[in-house]
C-alpha cells in the first residue's frame, strides 16, 4: 500500500475537530493511503510515508465541492450578457437559445465542453462538481447529456424540466408527461438526482411536484431551482419532498426560512435540506444577492456553488464565489469557505468529502497563501498551487 504525506502545512482546514468553525490545525500534516485520509496531526509527529509533498508552510483545505453546475451545452450567450450589462433584465428566456445550439451539437462537441469546464474548475480547486442536463429537452438529448456528464462526474442531475421547450409551448401538460415518462426512463440510468426550475416562466409548483415525485419513485434524489427570480413556493416544495438542496434562494419569506430551519438534524449538525447560494448568478444578472446572514442566523446549512452555465453565471471558479459571498453577502471568510466545501458536500448528502478527517476522500487543495482568508482577501488571483484528487496530485 503506497502512502503520501502532505507535510509542513501552516494552516490546515479540516472542517472537523480543531480551532473555530473550520476546525483549523496549525503546523500540521496529512497522511494519505489508498486515496483516503489515514491520519491528521502535528507535522512534528508525522509518520513515515513513501512520498512527501512539502506544503512549505502554506494553507491546505478540502477541495471545493461545487454542487450546482450546468456543463452540458453548446455555444455561448456573450451577447445576451452584454445586453444585460446595458440594462436588459434576465428572464431565463435565453435558455431556449442554448437548447437549440445543444441539440445541433455532436456528442464530441458536448464532451469537449464538459471536459474543458471541468478542467478549469479543477485548476481552481474544485474536486467534486455536480453536472446537470437541461439543455437537450428531448428524450435523446437529455439521455446523451447525462451519459456525457456521467463520464466526468458521479454527481449527475436530470433537469429535463429546465424550461418547456418551444415545440411544447402551448401544451405544457404534455411536456410534463414526457419528462415523467420516456425522458425519465432514458435519463435515470445515468442520473443520481432530479431537479426542476420551479419559477414563473418555467414550471409551476404542481408540475414541479409531479416531476420530482416521479424522479423520487425512480430512485433519484431531489434538488430544485427555487425562488431565484421572485418569491414563490419552490423552497416549501423542496422541504415537503425532503430535497437535499434548494438552490438560489434569492427571494425568501419568513416561512421559507423557518421551513428550512425546521429540517435541522437533532445532533446539531445542520439542516437536512441545504440552501445553496449561487452568487455568480446575481453577479452576472446584476441582481440583488441572497440574504445569507438570515439563513445562517436561523441555523440553516448554506452551500456555495458556481451555477456554471452559459446564461446566468458563466464562471467555474469557486474562489470567485467565496470572494463574492464575503464581500457582497456578508458571510465571514470562514463561513464562506465552509459553505464551499462542507456545505457543498451536505448539499450532495455526502459525508466522505468536504472534510479532511481520517476516512475522508483525500481531495485537497494547497494554496499559494498562508491562510484560507486569502481566498476572499485576494480576489481574482490564482491562489491554487496544487490539487490532490483521491490522493493523486493533479
Ligand atoms: O440556474 N435558472 C435556471 N437555470 C440556470 C440558468 C440557465 C440559463 O440561463 O441558461 C440558472 O441560473
Ligand atoms: Fe442553475
Mutation pick for ligand 1 pocket among 75, 197, 310 (CB with most ligand atoms within 8 Å):
197
Q: What is the mean pLDDT of the chain?
A: 97
Helix extents (H) in the chain: 78-85, 95-104, 107-123, 139-150, 172-178, 184-187, 205-217, 234-240, 254-261, 279-285, 292-297, 318-329, 333-338, 344-347, 374-377
- Residue 272 labelled as part of a binding site: no
Q: Which residues of 128-147 are buried (b: 16+ CB within 10 A; e: fewer)?
A: bbbbbbbbbbbbebbbbbbb
Percent of the chain with pLDDT over 70: 100
Q: Which atom of ligand 1 is nearest to the CA of 92?
A: 9
Is there a contact between 176 and 211 (Cβ–Cβ < 8 Å)? yes
- Ligand 1 in contact with 147 (CB < 6 A)? no
Rounded mean pLDDT, 351-365: 98
- List every span in the chain annotated with CATH 3.20.20.140: 64-347
- Tell me the pLDDT tens digit for each residue of 198-251: 999 999 999 999 999 999 999 999 999 999 999 999 999 999 999 999 999 999
Strand-pair partners of 97 = none
Ligand of minimum distance to the alpha carbon of 313? 1
What does the pLDDT read at residue 6?
98
CATH topology for 64-347 is TIM Barrel (3.20.20)
Which atom of ligand 1 is nearest to 248's Cα?
A: 1
Alpha carbons 287 and 305: distance in angstroms, whole number: 17
* Ligand 1 close to Cβ of residue 311 (< 6 A): yes
Query: Which ligand 1 atom sits closest to the C-alpha of 98?
Result: 10
Nearest to 303 by CA among 269, 337, 330: 337
Q: Does 8 have pLDDT greater than 90?
A: yes
Among protein residues, the one with the nearest Cα to ligand 1's atom 1 is 307
Q: Does the Cβ of 234 fall within 6 Å of ligand 1? A: no
The arithmetic mean of pLDDT across residues 109-128, rounded, is 98
Q: The whole model's pTM is what? A: 0.98
In this predicted structure, what is the pLDDT of residue 386? 98
190 is in an annotated binding site: no
Angle between helix 95-104 and helix 139-150 axes, rounded to 10 deg:
80
Residues in the chain: 394
Ion ligand 2: residue ranges with CB closer than 5 A: 307
Whether the predicted pLDDT of 377 surpasses 80: yes
Q: How far is the CA of 95 from the centre of ligand 1 (A)?
A: 7
The closest-lying atom of ligand 1 relative to the alpha carbon of residue 313 is 12
Q: How far, in Å, are 45, 218, 346, 357 from residue 236 at the CA level?
A: 50, 22, 19, 34
Residue 334 Cα, ligand 1 centroid: separation in angstroms? 28
Q: Which atom of ligand 1 is nearest to the CA of 228?
A: 2
DSSP 162: S
134 lines ligand 1 (CB under 6 A): no
CATH architecture, domain defined by 3-62+355-393 = Roll (2.30)
Strand, coil or helix: 40: strand
Q: Boundaries of CATH 2.30.40.10 in the chain?
A: 3-62+355-393
162 labelled ligand-binding:
yes
Amino acid at each position: 500500500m503506497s502512502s503520501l504525506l502532505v507535510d509542513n502545512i501552516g494552516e490546515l482546514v479540516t472542517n472537523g475537530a480543531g480551532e473555530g468553525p473550520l476546525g483549523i490545525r496549525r503546523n500540521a500534516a496529512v497522511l494519505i493511503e489508498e486515496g483516503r485520509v489515514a491520519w491528521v496531526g502535528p507535522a512534528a509527529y508525522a509518520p513515515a510515508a513513501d512520498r512527501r509533498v512539502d506544503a512549505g508552510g502554506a494553507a491546505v483545505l478540502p477541495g471545493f465541492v461545487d454542487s450546482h453546475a450546468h456543463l452540458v451545452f453548446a455555444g455561448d450567450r456573450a451577447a445576451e450578457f452584454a445586453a444585460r450589462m446595458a440594462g436588459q433584465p434576465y428572464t431565463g428566456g435565453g435558455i431556449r437559445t442554448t437548447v437549440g445550439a445543444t441539440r445541433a451539437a455532436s456528442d464530441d462537441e458536448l464532451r469537449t465542453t464538459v471536459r474543458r469546464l471541468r478542467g478549469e474548475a479543477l485548476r481552481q480547486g474544485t474536486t467534486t462538481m455536480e453536472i446537470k442536463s437541461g439543455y437537450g429537452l428531448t428524450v435523446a438529448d437529455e439521455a446523451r447529456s447525462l451519459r456525457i456528464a456521467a463520464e466526468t462526474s458521479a454527481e449527475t442531475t436530470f433537469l429535463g424540466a429546465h424550461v418547456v421547450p418551444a415545440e411544447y409551448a402551448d401544451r405544457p401538460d404534455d411536456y410534463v408527461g414526457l419528462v415523467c415518462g420516456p425522458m425519465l426512463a432514458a435519463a435515470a440510468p445515468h442520473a443520481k438526482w432530479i431537479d426542476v426550475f420551479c419559477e414563473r416562466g418555467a414550471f409551476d409548483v404542481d408540475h414541479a411536484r409531479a416531476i420530482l415525485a416521479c424522479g423520487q419513485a425512480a430512485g433519484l434524489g431531489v434538488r430544485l431551482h427555487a425562488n431565484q427570480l421572485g418569491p414563490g413556493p419552490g423552497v416549501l416544495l423542496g422541504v415537503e419532498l425532503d430535497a437535499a438542496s434548494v438552490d438560489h434562494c434569492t427571494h425568501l419569506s419568513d416561512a421559507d426560512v423557518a421551513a428550512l430551519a425546521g429540517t435541522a438534524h437533532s445532533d446539531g449538525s445542520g439542516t437536512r435540506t441545504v440552501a445553496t447560494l449561487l452568487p455568480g448568478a446575481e453577479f452576472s444578472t446584476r441582481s440583488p444577492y441572497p440574504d445569507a446572514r438570515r439563513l445562517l442566523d436561523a441555523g440553516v446549512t448554506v452551500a456555495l456553488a458556481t451555477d456554471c452555465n452559459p446564461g446566468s453565471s458563466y464562471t467555474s471558479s469557486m474562489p470567485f464565489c467565496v470572494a463574492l459571498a464575503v464581500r457582497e453577502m456578508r458571510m465571514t471568510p470562514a463561513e464562506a469557505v465552509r459553505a464551499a466545501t462542507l456545505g457543498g458536500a451536505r448539499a450532495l448528502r455526502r459525508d466522505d468529502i468536504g472534510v479532511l478527517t481520517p476516512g475522508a476522500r483525500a481531495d485537497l487543495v494547497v494554496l499559494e497563501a498562508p491562510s484560507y482568508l486569502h481566498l476572499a482577501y485576494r480576489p481574482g488571483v490564482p491562489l491554487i498551487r496544487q490539487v490532490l484528487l483521491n490522493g493523486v496530485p493533479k
